[in-house]
Amino acid sequence: MQTSLHMIGQLMEVRPNEYKNKDGKTVEQTEITVLFSGLSEDGYKKISADTVLLEGSEDFDILRPYIGKFVAIPYTFEVNDFGSKCRVDRAMPVLSFEKNPLDYTKYERKVAKA
């Protein structure tokens, strides 16, 4: 099963990662960390971060220039009998935004109690 998704938020880190698999071969990955910031329905700040390992090292050079920017990264998530893999979907561009595209402050919410 393969699914296409977008990871949306502020790209905080892009780093190379490698490990040796059970056959002793070196496997290269790119680790990305994306920060999400919004408001709960009660008006409280809701912040979370996700770290995703992308298969291969090619994504490092593609994503590195976007560190610190708000982005929508298209990626495919594939699950098979051997596990799961994530890859940047090169059929779609990485989108960059001046402001947080998930800024919920423009919507009317309850005011948080002090």
pLDDT for residue 102: 79
CA distance 20 to 13: 23
Other residues' Cβ atoms within 10 Å of the Cβ of residue 114 = 3
Neighbours of 70 (CB within 10 A): 21
Q: Domain containing 92 — which CATH number?
A: 2.40.50
Show pLDDT as tens, one digit a residue, over the chain (114 residues): 778 888 899 999 999 999 898 899 998 999 999 999 877 777 788 889 988 888 888 889 889 999 999 999 888 888 888 788 878 888 888 899 998 887 766 666 666 555
Instruction: Count CA atoms within 13 Å of residue 60 on its CB side.
Output: 12
How many domains does the structure of the chain reveal?
A: 1
Residue 108 lies in a domain: no
Q: Which ranges of 1-114 does DSSP label H, i.e. alpha helix?
A: 58-63
Q: Which domain holds residue 39?
A: 2-98
- CA dihedral (77, 80, 83, 89) in degrees, to 10, reads -20
pLDDT at residue number 34:
94
Residue 103 placed within a domain? no
109 in any annotated domain: no
